[in-house]
Amino acid sequence: MDVISIIRTKRDRGELSGEQIDWVIDAYTRGAVADEQMSALAMAILLNGMNRGEIARWTAAMIASGERMDFSSLARPTADKHSTGGVGDKITLPLAPLVAACGAAVPQLSGRGLGHTGGTLDKLESIPGWRALLSNEEMLNVLNDAGSVICAAGDGLAPADKKLYALRDVTGTVEAIPLIASSIMSKKIAEGTGSLVLDVKVGTGAFMKTLDDARELASTMVGLGTDHGVRTVALLTDMSTPLGLTAGNALEVRESVEVLAGGGPADVVDLTLALAREMLAAAGLPDADPAKALADGSAMDVWRRMIAAQGGDPDADLPVARETHVVTAPASGVLTRLDAYDVGVAAWRLGAGRARKEDPVQAGAGVSLHAKPGDSVVAGQPLLTLHTDTPERFEYALKSLEGAYDVAPAGTEFSARPIVLERVSA
């Protein structure tokens, strides 16, 4: 086997054999295939795709690169959720403790930001003391104590994916459906959860821009999960507009706590409850009422125990950016569009995301939204507030917001897309 031949095969739209896939994943994990070579192969996969057999073998090779976890010792059924990434997508933060408050165990392995989309671990690391890296024993202890845990995949869990995940972020290959599906499902299958709900984003701020692409990705992942004995279902959800009223790390943590306290933006609450009901049904708890667990404070209690169990202080002040810049409405009327991708790029350029896998992120950086599509606005009123510690970033961030929003004359009818567009099951 040699990597050049494998790259050429996929470059020339050929089908990789199972032996080629097994070899290249193993060799890349061991360091025998260089980053630039795997980058070339990832780009060839993005451009030319993989068939169902190749994706299944690629996923199996990723799983085989490391260990598999076992949660059979827990007294509760396990349920997990994964989002394909969006702007303002803080849903995991209130969702995991909410589902745990309803009786399931939630072993939530999460990732960092990819391009213009935020990362759950980056958000939670804005909480003083909170730790993303836990041993398997620590993860089980948090699950037993709090019922939910949100942490990074350990080095032993699909290590091939850990390397490739970071590489995709900085080589323009994030959007490749075979690589998205295998990345997500290799970790989730190796993690050992009994059931999985996928939140597949659709729209300008998502990696899947069209319903057809989202259906393809969802169907691929549901099939992979089902074939490996994991009860898997997917919701296709709207990502044409940012979720909630914030995009950024500490900003989104604050908003998530508002949801757990019984408030928060309606779209965040609605999607959190929809995913919670799917997770509870998949875990065999269809009669549990997540809305009640939000209202009575039990989900907040789990959040506080979970954060504390991972070294964080749930009462600590969250970081605030040193500098802000306000973008005002250009005219009076109805806000009819606020592009999720453009807002995500602005937050990324302000410091909420990274351009290289080694880059740090700013905890306080991001964008606050003062209006959503369908809202009436007055010329000159605040539309967005940009946050950063480095004000020289404002100019670059503002360029991404040129043409990001539309204001129509007062009285213009506006019809918002529902947050949940479709459901995909086995």
301 to 98, 102, 145, 314, 392: CA distances (angstroms): 9, 12, 12, 10, 40
Selected catalytic residue, list 10, 90, 116, 187: 187
Query: In whole angstroms, what is the distance from residue 163 CA to residue 30 CA?
Result: 10
DSSP tag of 391: G
Catalogue the E-assigned strands of 371-419. 376-377, 382-388, 405-408
Selected catalytic residue, list 10, 57, 81, 82: 82
Region for residue 88 given its phi and psi (left: phi exceeds 0; alpha: psi -120 to 50; beta: otherwise):
left
In 3D space, the residue among 264, 66, 278 whose CA is nearest the CA of residue 153 turns out to be: 66
Catalogue the E-assigned strands of 307-379. 323-328, 333-338, 366-369, 376-377
Selected catalytic residue, list 65, 182, 183, 195: 183
Q: Which residues contact 213 (CB under 8 A, 6 or more apart)?
A: 177, 202
Catalytic residue flag (residue 183): yes
Catalytic residue flag (residue 116): no
Residue 397 has φ and ψ, to the nearest 5°, of -65, -40
- Residue 42, amino acid: A
Q: Which residues contact 379 (CB under 8 A, 6 or more apart)?
A: 328, 329, 330, 331, 332
Catalytic residue flag (residue 370): no
Catalytic residue flag (residue 83): no
Selected catalytic residue, list 57, 123, 168, 393: 168
Residues, the chain, total? 426
Residue identified by tokens 């500098």 is 323
Q: What are 416's two structure tokens?
A: 């918002």
3-state helix, strand, coil in the chain (%, to 5): 45, 15, 40
Selected catalytic residue, list 22, 80, 161, 267: 161
- Residue 60, amino acid: A
Question: ∠415-416-419 over CA atoms, to 5°?
Answer: 150
DSSP structure string for 130-165: --S---HHHHHHHHHHHSEEEEEPPTTSSHHHHHHH
Catalytic residue flag (residue 168): yes
In 3D space, the residue among 367, 373, 370, 384 whose CA is nearest the CA of residue 337 turns out to be: 373
Query: In whole angstroms, what is the distance from residue 347 CA to residue 241 CA?
Result: 14
**Residues carrying an active site annotation:** 82, 161, 168, 183, 187
